[in-house]
Chains A and B, each alone.
Chain A
Amino acid sequence: MLLKLTFNSLYARLLTVGMTVFAISLSLMLYMSVEKLRTSAYTSFTDTISQTDLIVGARTSSVQLLLYSVFRIGNATNNITWESYEDVINKKEVAWSVPISLGDSHKGFRVMGTNSEFFKRYKFRGGQSIELEEGNKLDDLYDVIIGAGVAEKLNYSVGTPLIVSHGLQSFSDHDDQPFKVSGILAKTGTPVDNTVIVSLEAIEAIHVDWSTGAKIPGQITPVEEIRQMDLSPKNITAALIGVNSKLQIFQLQRWINEYPEESLSSILPGVALQELWRIVGVIENLLLGISVTVIFTTLIGMTAIIFSSLNERRREMAIWRAMGASPKVVIGLLMLEAFIISVMSIIVSTVMLFLTLYVLQPWIDNTYGILVNIEMLAVKDIYIFMLFIIAASLVSLIPAIRAYWFSINDGMTIKI
């Protein structure tokens, strides 16, 4: 009967209660959205590269190696020689490898030289492979494959000619050797989207007339002649390595780090990603702070709403007391009300969140490269909801105790 009457009481104040539920739902939805975005950003970030066991580069810090080899941020401190690379990949522990050569750019986008293994071995978002949206792979020396972001921002399509610039902010172009877009990759939400991919041989080819970072004056080798040359790479920037057995990772890592011929670094991508995330974790903490503030504000808001209705409900409390309800029952009624309001708010906010995500998911993915999964509530979410309900019920104790004192002091005399 108490439950029925509590529902009736809430229903009788439909507009006020409805607005309260809506306000709390919005706050909860904001909290859940921030949480969802935070975890999705983290997942997208850590899923930038997966199933790669080691990244090898010249001796540097793990974060820097990760930044330039995976995120194309910053520059390599040095290259590694092809011989060193071959020594590494000839180790029996190595199952596969992908060489990467960086250094040039096209209209602000990084140019990356690699081989066909990259398309097979580079995995993201827990094992997804990169796929061609349209066009073909690198069949010709002067073919390029561009990421979805490059195609979109530069409005390129298959067949579009392009010139690679030397370095990252150089005014020197390799304009004597124009490239042509042979394929466009599907969107990945990773830095691959903003990468121009060429073959390792192409990187060698465009640097035929260059020496120590500068063009040799007056030397222009015809393209047809370059095509006949041995364009085997002499240096690379980094390499992605997969091992035969996970147990061999640390053994191989130690061997590479102690490689006597050249100073090399090898890093575990997962560990380096975590390390990097800790650096950018200030934003995560900020988002977490916003989430907690939102919840806190919501609870205060709900308490204020219950408080504001308290005075006009003193008569109602007096009736309950006259019927024999103890002050504890009066407290219980208000807490039950807070409980119902919080449960209703959770239901409404969850529905609103899923509807919003359903509408905005493609836009968030396309714009920010963050895949927000629309999935059932996680155990953590359920815990947070339970905590919210408990917190809401506890916070409602403040007006409930006030009602308790009203009900004790009012007796037969209601001071409204």
Chain B
Amino acid sequence: MEKSNLNEKTIQINSVKFHWSNKSKFKLHIPELSVDKGEKVLLLGESGSGKTTLLSLICGFLTPLSGKIQLNEKLINDLSATKRDQYRSDNIGIIFQQFNLLPYANVIDNILLPLYFSKLRSANISNQRETAISICKSLRLPEDVVNMKASELSVGQQQRVAVARALIGNPSLVIADEPTSSLDTDAQTIFLDLMFSQVASSNSTLLMVSHDKSLSSNFDRVIDMKNVSVKEQ
């Protein structure tokens, strides 16, 4: 908690309700949830608890039926779909569980892809290629990796490239959806260390989803879906 700034919230959720129109049984209700700027938060929860749905709401892929979702104190659920896409591009770096990269593009193009959609992130760096290479080095990726096709990399390397892509242009929030699930224990530790150090150097907030409680000690705060969501039938 020492690293978080209690005055500035990166994520602020109030009274959010959502349900899928085709999944009548599943209902998500989050009375309140907030993540401070610079905080590293682990979101724990069982399968089907609504973790990924919550991430989709935060990223602006979905909009809640009611309630407020604020990112950097900006209410995003009132934005138009196009503006939500732009806001996501400008402020959020996303790391998927696996298959993060465009397999036909090389590593450098994959890393620079968010900058194509975000002038804001693009403006944060002077030399895009050099910055991408520098992040790759920090993530201990081999030097020659940048010109390789994404499909030629190992799973661990692909996840690290995904981190580089999520962090390029210093977005305020990095969202990671079980990024370590496809890695073995040793690789998990190395990956998390590298990700944390890069997130810290970018001064970004990290919200990572997992169902693995053993990772809890690595984070500033752990949020269990059981404690933030209200069961509704």
Instruction: Please report A residues at the B interface, Cβ cutoff 8 Å.
Output: 1-2, 4-5, 8-9, 11-12, 315-316, 318-319, 321-328, 408, 410-413
Contact = CB atoms under 8 A, between A and B. Distances in A.
A313 B117 CA distance: 20
A9 B102 contact: yes
Most interface-central of B59, B103, B104 (chain A CB within 10 A): B104
B102 A327 contact: no
| Top 8 closest pairs, chain A to chain B, by CB | A324-B89, A411-B61, A12-B104, A324-B117, A411-B56, A322-B94, A8-B104, A326-B85
Given A8-B104, A316-B103, A411-B59, 19 more contacts: A1-B113, A5-B102, A5-B105, A9-B104, A11-B104, A12-B103, A321-B61, A323-B89, A323-B114, A323-B116, A324-B85, A324-B88, A325-B117, A408-B61, A411-B53, A411-B61, A412-B55, A412-B94, A413-B56
A327 B151 CA distance: 25
B127 interface: no
B104 A412 contact: no
Interface string B52-73: 1101100101100000000000
A412 B52 contact: yes
B96 A318 contact: yes
A267 B47 CA distance: 88
A138 B175 CA distance: 96
Interface string B91-123: 000101001111111000100111011100000
Interface string B128-169: 000000000000000000000001000000000000010000
25 contacts: A1-B109, A1-B112, A5-B102, A5-B109, A8-B105, A8-B109, A12-B151, A316-B103, A322-B94, A323-B94, A324-B90, A324-B114, A324-B117, A324-B118, A325-B85, A326-B85, A327-B81, A408-B61, A410-B61, A411-B56, A411-B61, A412-B52, A412-B59, A412-B94, A413-B53
Given A5-B105, A9-B104, A323-B89, A315 B56 contact: no
Interface residues of B, number: 33
A318 B90 CA distance: 17
Contact of B116 (A1, A327, A412, A413): A1
A315 to B, nearest CB: 5
A4 B109 contact: yes
A9 B88 CA distance: 24
B214 interface: no
Contacts of A412: 52, 55-56, 59, 61, 94, 96, 177
Nearest to A8: B104
B96 A323 contact: no
A318 B104 CA distance: 15
Contacts of A4: 109
A326 to B, nearest CB: 4
Given A5-B109, A411-B61, A412-B61, A315 B99 contact: yes
B59 to A, nearest CB: 7
B88 A319 contact: no
Nearest to B99: A315
B203 to A, nearest CB: 20
Nearest to A4: B109
A4 B61 CA distance: 26
B87 to A, nearest CB: 9
A412 B59 CA distance: 9
A6 to B, nearest CB: 10
Contact of B62 (A315, A319, A411): A411
Contacts of A5: 102, 104-105, 109
Nearest to B62: A411
Contacts of B104: 5, 8-9, 11-12
A327 B85 CA distance: 9
B185 interface: no
Contacts of B126: none
B24 interface: no
A5 B110 CA distance: 10
B103 to A, nearest CB: 7
Most interface-central of A1, A322, A326 (chain B CB within 10 A): A322
Contacts of B52: 411-413
Most interface-central of A323, A410, A413 (chain B CB within 10 A): A323
Interface string B203-227: 0000000000000000000000000
Contacts of B61: 321, 408, 410-412
B177 A319 contact: no
B101 A319 contact: yes
Nearest to A316: B102
B49 interface: no
Contacts of A12: 103-104, 151
Contacts of B165: 323
Interface in B27-54: 52-53
B201 interface: no
B12 to A, nearest CB: 20
